[in-house]
Amino acid sequence: MSISGKAAVAQAAMAAVEPLVELLLELRVTSPEAESLLRGVFVHKTREWLARQSASTSEPSDVRISLVTGVHRNFVRRILAEPPKIADAREQKSNRANRLLQAWYSDPVYLDTSGKPRDLPEKGNRPSFQSLSTTYVPGAAPGVVLDQLRRAGSVQTLSEHRVRVRGRTFRVHGFNLSGIAEVGSRARELLETLKHNVQQPDSRRFCDSMRVIEIERGRIPAVRDIISRRATTFLAGMEHELAVEANRSRRAKQKGRIKVGLTVYQTERWPK
């Protein structure tokens, strides 16, 4: 593949990356943090990929991994020493919102006589949110920082342009670890199937869709209900048939077993 061809293929693959970027933005992961995490995943997966291609039982060398990934071999060794993660240096640099919130709970200037965080005016001399933000998040406009904390639910707006802190850490609402793990697992399964079908069209895995049908906007709730009912019935039927097949193979004492599961999901973005 030529350099120009590689660029075109990479550009086409960007469609798969865009939803991931939106998810990372929702999770308040910065571009430098995401880049460091991607680099770690890239290096670890490259080692696995090279090992699968090699007839040797020994692991690929750092030099070989470096040549494939473009990451210096000294960094390759450091990255492979631990699981992929956001680099500590990147995380510390981007954790400015948490630094501000921690200071609101610890800096005497921003505590009342009982040692609790003060309710602060948005602007003005110390103690104010403006002075707190300027001190602990230098280089960022206090208004932008305040809007970000409001959206995250970390501060509460009071009357007369005053704000109250609601927690020591910058929170992300609407997400939990198990939910994010499921997103990652489902996305990986779908991409692996699509990649397999592109690389091996003669042994395609099932991945199909119906033709697009235009429906009036007012019928969207009914369509959602149809999809939900039909998909639920289909999955229940498949689960029953596969369970019967599993019992037959168990009674026949057949050796060698695999796990089979099916997932149905809606791909269109419905208008609100």
Q: Best-predicted range by mean pLDDT among 39-48, 50-59, 142-151?
A: 39-48
Q: Say whether pLDDT at 32 is over 60.
A: yes
- Which strands form 155-158's sheet, in the order they lie side by side? 120-121, 162-165, 155-158
Q: Say whether pLDDT at 132 is over 60.
A: yes
Return the ∠ at Cα 90 (arms to 34 and 17), rounded to 5°. Answer: 5
Q: Say whether pLDDT at 71 is over 60.
A: yes
Structure tokens at 57: 């039982």
Structure tokens at 229: 């009912």
Structure tokens at 47: 């080692």
Structure tokens at 271: 């208008």
Q: Say whether pLDDT at 248 is over 70.
A: yes
What pLDDT score does 95 carry?
66
Helix spans in 95-176 (H)? 96-106, 129-136, 142-151
Which is it for strands 155-158 and 120-121: parallel, antiparallel or unpaired?
unpaired
pLDDT interval class at 70 (50, 70, 90):
very high
C-alpha span between 156 and 250 (Å, rounded): 60
Answer for the pair 27, 202: CB distance below 8 angstroms, yes or no: no
Q: Using DSSP, state whether 255 is helix, strand or coil.
A: coil
Q: Using DSSP, state whether 259 is helix, strand or coil.
A: coil
Q: Say whether pLDDT at 195 is over 80.
A: yes
Q: At what angle do helices 31-53 and 73-80 cross, to 10 degrees?
A: 90
